[in-house]
């Protein structure tokens, strides 16, 4: 049986400390291949188009632009990006914001202040459930 290909993942995050933390934690999950990161909306859209990941972890507040616009771009032209699943990892966990993210196609929303473990579990499950 051929090996399961790794889960190509990108991180859209402008906080360097959190980016380093996430990068290290994702590296410890078997089957996850971190293929890039971006800290702004334009850089994220370019990266997503080029890398065509299966999973994008998106913060809402970026150095330039917003994660909501990144989600909108993914929803509007999913095939241009390889149809990745997007999850939001943000401090802006107001119910209206969560609802908007889900409306824009986010598979899940995780609050940075207390849901890091849940995010990592989501990524691990996504990596384990990939077809071989």
Task: Please report the domains of the chain, with CATH numbers, ordered by start residue.
Answer: 24-57+67-114+124-128 (3.40.50.2300)
CA 86 to CA 58: how far, in whole Å? 7
Q: What b/e string do you get for 51-72 counting C-beta neighbours within 10 Å, with b at 16 or more?
A: bbbbbbbbbbebeebbbbbbbb
- Residue 20 — pLDDT band, cuts 50, 70, 90? very high
Tell me the pTM.
Answer: 0.94
Residue 127: CB partners within 8 Å, gap ≥ 6? 6, 7, 29, 30, 31, 32
Evaluated on CA atoms 114, 44, 122, 9, the torsion sign reads negative
- 51-71 pLDDT, tens digit each: 999 999 999 999 999 999 999
- Residue 1 — pLDDT band, cuts 50, 70, 90? low
Which residue(s) pair with 87 in the sheet? 57, 108
- Residue 37 — pLDDT band, cuts 50, 70, 90? very high
């Amino acid at each position: 049986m051929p090996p399961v290909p790794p889960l190509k993942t990108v991180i859209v995050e402008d906080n360097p400390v959190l980016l380093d933390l996430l990068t290290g934690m994702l590296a410890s999950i078997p089957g996850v291949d971190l293929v890039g990161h971006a800290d702004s909306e334009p850089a994220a859209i370019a990266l997503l188009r080029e890398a065509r990941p299966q999973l994008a972890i998106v913060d809402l507040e970026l150095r330039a632009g917003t994660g909501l616009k990144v989600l909108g771009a993914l929803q509007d032209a999913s095939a241009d990006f390889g149809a990745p699943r997007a999850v939001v990892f943000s401090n802006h966990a107001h119910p209206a914001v969560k609802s908007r993210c889900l409306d824009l196609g986010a598979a899940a929303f995780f609050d940075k202040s207390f849901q890091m473990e849940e995010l990592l579990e989501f990524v691990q499950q996504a990596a384990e459930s990939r077809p071989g």
